[in-house]
Amino acid sequence: MLDGDAKILRLTSVTVTREKQLSLQNEFDKYASATNFVIKSILQKHITKAQRTVELLEEEFSERFDSRPQYLTDVVKTARVEIGRHRKLARTIRTMRDKTPFFKPGRIILSHPLVSVSEKALILKTLEGEETPVPFDKHSRNRVVDDLAELAKDPSGYGRVRITWNKQGYVDIDIRCTN
């Protein structure tokens, strides 16, 4: 599914402060519960199209989790990928066959209006309008400094951004560049 010209920038963050850790942990938990809600809804209602999923779940999702339409789109995309991954594994692993797919907390995969990339940090926008900057560490930032400068100027240059939580207070950031 990856395009031939797509490139993934792998970065790590500096140690995140305690306040940011709490804010990020809330976002991770909310994203995981929203994704699991969408997975269950897709399987219960037998929805096959992503756009149809967005239309059916829009109202209930905005009441329970987040009213931003881009957030719902990103969660639906993640849920559909998780269902596909589970079905693929269920073909070979017998114990997974009669179980519901489950999205494990610890990852967020968002796109441009919800996250933005600058030369020094990734900025995560929350529902309350807060912006939580997650600074890149010096070594990983210096490896891809030219790409980050290009992405800071042109937000359409990157697709989805995966943020993975490490228990030590760090965050791994994978940015999918389309240029």
127 in a domain, yes or no? yes
pTM above 0.85, yes or no: yes
- How far is the C-alpha of 123 from the C-alpha of 164, rounded, in Å? 14
- Flag whether pLDDT at 159 surpasses 60: yes
Please compute the mean of the pLDDT values over residues 114-133 and round it to a whole number. Answer: 89
Please compute the mean of the pLDDT values over residues 149-174 and round it to a whole number. Answer: 88
pLDDT digits (tens, 9 = 90+) for 26-81: 999 999 999 999 999 999 999 899 999 999 999 999 999 988 999 999 999 999 99
58 in a domain, yes or no? yes
pLDDT of 77 reads 95
Burial label for 78, CB within 10 Å (0-12, 13-18, 19+), is buried
99 in a domain, yes or no? yes
pLDDT of 32 reads 95
2 in a domain, yes or no? no
137 in a domain, yes or no? yes
1 in a domain, yes or no? no
- Flag whether pLDDT at 93 surpasses 60: yes
- How far is the C-alpha of 156 from the C-alpha of 141, rounded, in Å? 20
> What is the span of the domain harbouring residue 144?
7-177
Q: Phi and psi at residue 154, in whole multiples of 5°? A: -125, 100
Tokens representing 24? 């990020």
pLDDT of 179 reads 64
pLDDT of 95 reads 86
Q: Of 73, 54, 66, whose CA–CA distance to 111 is shortest?
A: 73
Q: Where is pLDDT greater, at 172 or 129? A: 172
66 in a domain, yes or no? yes
63 in a domain, yes or no? yes
Average pLDDT over the chain reads: 89
- Flag whether pLDDT at 1 surpasses 50: no
pLDDT of 154 reads 85
pLDDT of 158 reads 86
- Flag whether pLDDT at 122 surpasses 70: yes
Percent of the chain with pLDDT over 70: 97
Q: Structural domain tally of the chain?
A: 1
